A and B are shown apart, each in its own frame.
Chain A
Amino acid sequence: MSADENLRQRLSSVGRRVRQWLRVQFSPVPLLGWFLAALVAVILEMLVGTPLARLLGMSKFPVLFGFALALAQPVYIPSAIVYVLLIYVLPVALVARLSIRLGNLLAGWLMRTSPLLSVVVHLGLLYGTLHLWAGLSDYRVLVVRLMLIAIMLTLSLNVVNGYMGEFSCSHPGFMALGAYAASLFSVLFFVGNDAFGAPLLPIGLGPFLFPLGLILGGAVAALGALLVAIPSFRTRGDYLAIISLAFMFIIKSLFENLEFLGGARGLSGQPDWASLPVVFAWTILCVWTINNFVRSTVGKALNAVRDGELAADAMTVDTRRTKMVAFFFAAFWAGVAGGLFAHVLRYVNPGTFDLKKLAEVLAMVYLGGLNSVVGSIVGAVSYNLLSEALRPLELYKWIIIPLLFIMVMIFRPTGLIAFREFDVVKLLHPREGTPGHAGPGAVEPQAER
């Protein structure tokens, strides 16, 4: 008994020391350093990925960090681990650790010159990494695009379910409205089909006017939100949940009955305009506006409404207007995401926007964390990665993922990263380990006991 305890104590002390060592080594790495390191790792994969994979006995490089391969053919588990270590983990750790001084200098200089420039450089690096990483296989491009769209959806639902504290089930409906409106825009004006006849405008103009189509999709979704908002925001309670659920069924059924949009067969022929850079740009725009929205006075008013509607009313918050604005805003972005979704798959049908989609969006929001922009990003990314990685398990995937969700809900009922503010400037600041140079983002060395 005592020997066992002794061992456990020693192990936990080893674990603590490892963690402390990691923190000392890696806490001074600025975000710029991590992005640089990721870029290096991706370039490394481009150069030696396939030969290394061959050397390790795999037919080609593992597409998604080797999860899918390892699950499909357990023989390859060691090779996949070695591959991930050699291509991703080691280079990232090495470059990040070695570039501390340079990265911090650079990040500091960028921040002093112009925060905007710093943001642009960071985004450029992030996009470059994603582009190169995804460029190695078509499957990765599709996964990344769908993941970015999922981020937009999750964020917009978080505005309603997290920041406003209601339970809305209508997001698949808004998404469907946006998807159909944007598809109609591009098919009617630029592609043409049997139902609509010849295109009205030359297709060369299409990619430039595509944003208009997406905005149209968002606007249509926001109009649809009116139908939910007018009856449901008169009182508080679980009222929105039911009305929005009814709305979702109505929208799905409506599209099944609109024959000129293809009815239940769906609408196809959307041009391939939602390429990776386009989706990336829209996602960044979405994250940026939603982050500003929730940190604005309206966003704070929204939190006040959630925490006590009467009190907020007494403090001169126009509660009804606030809720309406937030709901339209969320619906708009869901519509834009729907439009992009339709152009990524280049086909929509009403069956896509059903209860399964609803469960997926809700799961991403509650997994990531309520009331948090970072949380939504984390939730969408981790859900999508998990879902792709477990694909070889087929049926059992839908037992493992729900079980994981139940565990998360039991141990962290509000999600992984809830109620956290997303401060871009703080994130991009250089990080110095020494207290003298501590910027606003510096991680204070914590006292170890």
Chain B
Amino acid sequence: MAFFMQQVVNALQRGSFYALIALGYSMVYGVLMLFNFAHGDVFMVGAYIGFFVSSGLLALSAVGFLSLPTGVTLALVLVLTLIISMLLNSVVGMLVERIGYRPLRGAPRASAAITGLMIGIILETSNLALLGAQRRSFPDLIPGETIHVLGVNITPKKIVIVAVSLLLMFGLHLFVRRTKWGMAMRAMAYDYVVVPLMGVSINTIALLTFGLGSALAAAAGILYGVAYPVLDPYMGVLFGWKAFVAAIVGGRGSVLGAGLAGFLLGFIEIFVAAFLPSTMRDLIAFSIILVILTFRPHGFFGEPYSAQLRL
């Protein structure tokens, strides 16, 4: 039982990364009906931005810029890192939209997917060219003793990671449901031909969507860095594509669905690795997803729709 609960805790942590990244895919897909194949690499960029921001802030506090107790400083650094990196990374996401997607607004959707793919490759390669091949280790922002609860090891890291990601998801949910901008996004998802005629600019909404998704990806990147403190330029590739699949399983444009599917993917992966040889992880995870999609073609919360591919 303790082993089982331990796996649940691990799965919650892994699922939060998938969920946060999947939200970015899901929003772009829901609002603009586009695949943003650069998103996995935007996640990578977010992790690197987080690395530099947090290292910079730590260096500032080391030279005596702030004299607070260590715990408070680290908490402050974490919060500031999250905020600054999310802002910076949303700019990166908007740039991706501006360069790779806006010029192709009337083109076949698949062409935009290809530009996204190419921007992703450029991001990876330029990272490698600028920063070199050595791996960076993320500073330990959440130190702390492991807590034992009923035989389950819980580190403060895990608590913070799950809490922050749930908080961000809830915030996004509120934003999409309760604000005017969120309403505009939902309207655009409903019909991107008529809504621009009602005075909602598709370009503004596209920028907003990419920005929000990239901000969440930056948060995921920082939390990932906290959990597994090794960053490399290709870390976003596999993670991104898996989160993409999770986004679709959640259902088009559904915040709740993408979040749940991300956690589901985390659970499947952790439990397969716990009970079976870990090389079987992808095989079983994707087989389960194939079965889910066979019986629920539009994902958990997706409405049936008929996409005209505009080719």
Contacts and interface: CB of A to CB of B under 8 A. Distances in A.
Interface of A: 161, 165-167, 227, 230-231, 234-239, 241-243, 245-247, 249-250, 252-254, 256-257, 263-264, 306, 355, 359, 362-363, 366, 370, 395-396, 398-399, 402-403, 405-406, 409-410, 413-414
B104 interface: yes
B286 A246 contact: yes
A399 B280 CA distance: 34
12 contacts: A165-B309, A235-B306, A236-B307, A241-B35, A242-B248, A245-B241, A246-B293, A252-B282, A253-B283, A257-B283, A402-B118, A414-B311
A399 B297 contact: no
B110 interface: yes
B307 A237 contact: yes
Contacts of A398: 121-122, 124-125
B114 A405 contact: yes
A437 to B, nearest CB: 40
B95 interface: no
B99 A406 contact: yes
Interface of B: 29, 35, 99-100, 103-104, 106-108, 110-115, 117-119, 121-122, 124-126, 128-129, 237-238, 241, 244-245, 248-249, 277, 279-283, 286-287, 289-290, 293-294, 297, 304-307, 309, 311
A363 B286 contact: no
Nearest to A236: B306
Given A245-B241, A405-B114, A405-B115, A253 B306 contact: no
Given A243-B290, A253-B282, A167 B297 contact: no
Given A257-B279, A405-B114, A414-B111, A395 B125 contact: yes
A256 B279 contact: yes
A402 B129 contact: no
A169 B119 CA distance: 18
B287 A250 contact: yes
**Closest CB pairs A-B (n = 6):** A413-B107, A402-B118, A253-B283, A253-B282, A231-B294, A398-B125
B113 to A, nearest CB: 7
A132 B289 CA distance: 51
A398 B304 CA distance: 39
A166 B307 CA distance: 11
A161 B109 CA distance: 12
Contacts of A263: 279
Given A165-B311, A167-B110, A362-B114, A402 B122 contact: yes
Nearest to A363: B114
Nearest to A246: B286
A395 B128 CA distance: 8
Nearest to A414: B108
A264 B297 contact: no
Given A241-B35, A243-B290, A254-B283, A409 B128 contact: no
Contact of A359 (B99, B115, B117, B286): B117
Contact of B311 (A241, A245, A306): A306
Given A264-B279, A359-B121, A406-B119, A370 B108 contact: yes
A371 to B, nearest CB: 8
A409 B101 CA distance: 10
A44 to B, nearest CB: 39
Contacts of A257: 277, 279-280, 283
B241 to A, nearest CB: 6
B297 A246 contact: no
B305 to A, nearest CB: 7
A238 B307 contact: yes
Nearest to A404: B118
B129 A395 contact: yes
Contacts of B126: 399
Contacts of B117: 359, 362-363
A405 B113 CA distance: 12
Contacts of A359: 117, 121
B129 A396 contact: yes
A250 B297 contact: no
B293 A409 contact: no
A409 B129 contact: no
Given A257-B279, A362-B114, A410 B297 contact: no
B286 A409 contact: no
Nearest to B106: A413
A253 B280 contact: yes
A167 B111 CA distance: 11
Q: Which of A161, A263, A366, A406 has the most CB of B within 10 A?
A: A406
A306 B280 CA distance: 37
Nearest to B40: A355
Contacts of B311: 165, 306, 370, 414
